[in-house]
Amino acid sequence: MSSLSSRLFQSAELRQEMKINPRLYQAMELLYMPLLDLHQHLKHELTENPFLEMEEADVEEEVELNEEATEEKEDEIDWEEILLDGFGSGSGVREEREDREHYQPTATKAPDLHDHLLDQLYHLALSEREIRLGEEFIGNIGDDGFLGCDVEVVVEGANKWLDDIRHVAEARSGAIQDEEARAEELKEMELLFRPYNVHEGREVLLKIQDLDPSGVGARDVRECILIQLRRLGEEESVQYQIVEGHFDELLNHRWTEIGRELGIRPKEVQDAADKIAKLDPKPGVQFAPERDGYVLPDLVVEKVDGEYRVFLNDTNLPRLRLSRAYREVAQDKAKFKGENKEFIANKLSSANWMIQAIEQRRQTMLKVMGYIVDRQRDFFDKGVQHLRPLTLREVAEHIEMHESTVSRVTNEKYVQTPRGVYPLKFFFSSGLSTSSGEDISARGVKAKIQALVQEEDDKKPLTDQAIVDLLKGEGVKIARRTVAKYRDQLGILPARMRKRV
C-alpha cells in the first residue's frame, strides 16, 4: 500500500492569470462617482500631486473674479472722505462689519421627536418619580411615534435604573456619622426609590399620550387613531365606533358589513372612513430628519434644432493639466537620483493617468447617454407611457464595453431632461410585446395602468381583467397576474376596495 509523500519540492509551471491593475480599480471608482464626489476627489488630487494644476482658463477666470471683487470693495469705501475726516469713517466701516458678523445667522439642529417630547414632559406638573418614569417611556418610543414595548417592560427597565441609583445613594448615606441624620436619609430613600408598579406605568403612559403630536405613545395604529379621535372629542362618533370595534373590517373596506352591525347605511360608513383616513397613522414621522430633496445632475439633455443633444454638467469641475513648471523640472533628469527620481516619475505618471481617466469617463458617459436618448426618443417626445424596454447588456453591446462598466456609469447618476430630472436607471426596464411587433417597457405599462385607474368611474372601478382587456385594445399583451403585480407595486388597491358606494 503506497503512502503519500510529505516532502517539500520545487517545480516550474507556465499559466495565465488575469490580475486587475490598481489603476484599473481607480478608473472604475471614477466611473462610479457621482458629480459631487468626483469634484471633491479632483480637489484632493490637486493638493496631493504637484504635477497637476487647473487649466489656465479657469485660473485666469478666478483671478479676474478676485480682481473684480477687490474693485467692488474699493468702490464701497470713499478713501478721500476717510483721509479728510482723520480716519473717522474707517471706524464706521469696522463697526458695520462687526455688526454684520455679530448678526450672522447660525445653523441649528431641529429638535427630534424625543427632544420634543422631553421638553413637554418637563413642563408638566409631575413628581420626580413620574418624570423619571416618563423619560423611560419616551426612550422606548420609536421614530414613528409608537411605543415599542409593553408597559410591563418599561416599568421593569425603570426599576433596574432605580436599583442602580439606590446602591449609590446607600453607599453615600453610610458615610453619614450622625445616626439620626442617617436614619432620616434612609427613610427618604425608601420613599424615593420604591419600585414602580404597572398601575403607575399606565398612569404615566396616559400623560405621555396627551403630548404633542396627537397619537404619540400608542402601541399600534388602532390605538393611535383612537387617541386622535379622543383628542378631537369624537368618542361618540361613528368613526370612533368603527375603529374601536370594527378595525379589521375597516382595513378591508367592508362597508356593508360594518353598516349592518352598526345599523347605518354603507354610505355613512364610507364617509366616516374618509374622515378616519385624514388622521395621521404615524405621528412621529413629521419629526424625522429631512433628507436633501435635490440632486445635481451629471448630464443634461436639451432639444436643439429639433434634435436632442447630450452635454456633461461639469462646468464647475476642475479642468486638470500637467503643471508646466514641474514638467520642466522633471525633464532635467541629471538633478534627480534615487528616491527623488522615483517620486517624480510616480507623480508624473499618476498625473498623466488621472487626466486620461477623467477624459475616458467623460466620453463613456456621453456614449451611454447618447444611446439612451436615441433608444428612448419617444419618451422625450411623448412621455413615460412610450418608454421602450432597455437593458444594460444592450447598451454595452452598442458602445462595445462591458456590462459592468455601463452599470457603474448609470449608478447614482442623474440627467436633466426637458421632462424633468431622472436617475439614469429610470430608462432601464424589462419589456412586453405588442400586437404591432414593437416592445413597450414595464414602466410604460405601469404608467398606462395608473392613468386608467385615475380616469375610472369610482362607482364601477376597473377590475384587473378589465385593465387587461383595455390594454389589449391598445395592442399590449399582458396577463392578469402581471396587471395585479404592477398594481400592487404602484400602491393601487383592488377594484373591490376602490369602489365607492
Quick check: 287 pLDDT over 90?
no
- Calculate mean pLDDT across residues 300-312: 90
Tens of pLDDT, residue by residue over 56-114, are: 544 444 445 455 555 555 455 454 444 444 444 444 444 444 444 444 444 455 678 99
The per-residue pLDDT for 189 is 62
Q: Which residue has the cell 362618533?
A: 237
The per-residue pLDDT for 2 is 53
Tens of pLDDT, residue by residue over 225-243, are: 999 999 999 999 999 999 9
Query: Which residue type is seen at 126?
Result: L
pLDDT mean across residues, the chain: 79
- Calculate mean pLDDT across residues 166-175: 60
Contact criterion met (CB below 8 Å) for 225 and 237? no
Query: Which residue type is seen at 93?
Result: V
Three-state SS for 362-420 is HHHHHHHHHHHHHHCHHHHHHCHHHCCCECHHHHHHHHCCCHHHHHHHHCCCEEEECCE
**What's the whole-model pTM score?**
0.63
Give the model's confidence band at 333: pLDDT under 50 very low, under 70 low, under 90 confident, else very high: low
Q: And the C-alpha cell for 4?
A: 503519500
- Calculate mean pLDDT across residues 359-370: 89
Of the candidates 267, 278, 148, the residue with the CA atom closest to the CA atom of residue 225: 278
Residue ranges of alpha helices (H) inside 174-323 are: 179-192, 198-209, 221-231, 238-245, 247-251, 255-262, 266-277
The per-residue pLDDT for 223 is 94
Quick check: 37 pLDDT over 50?
yes
Eight-state DSSP code of residue 492: P
The per-residue pLDDT for 190 is 63
Tens of pLDDT, residue by residue over 39-65, are: 888 888 888 877 778 775 444 444 454
